[in-house]
Amino acid sequence: MKPLLPLALLLFAVTLFAQTDHPPATPAAERIASYQQRQALAERSIVNAIEFRNVGPTIM
């Protein structure tokens, strides 16, 4: 029973201080710019011209 108490205290201390620092929020303008950049990259992707077709079994 003795080794259990220090372990429990250690786990309690770790959970208290585990996530005290929160990263700052990303500004809205930066998020919108990133979204627009991602959309532009998706439109210019070289794999957009590839047509895919199913070669596997179909379920009727």
Residue 52 has pLDDT above 80, yes or no: yes
User: pLDDT tier at 4 (50, 70, 90 boundaries)?
Assistant: confident
12-51: pLDDT as tens digits? 888 888 777 788 999 999 999 999 999 999 999 999 888 9
Helices (H), the chain: 4-17, 28-43
Cα 48 to Cα 39, 43, 55, 58: the distances in Å are 13, 8, 19, 25
What is the predicted pLDDT for the residue at 36? 98
> In angstroms, rounded to a whole number, what is the distance separating the alpha carbons of residues 4 and 10?
10
What is the predicted pLDDT for the residue at 30? 98
The contacts of residue 42 (CB under 8 Å, 6+ apart) are 48
What is the predicted pLDDT for the residue at 22? 80
- Backbone torsions φ then ψ of 19, nearest 5 degrees: -130, 55
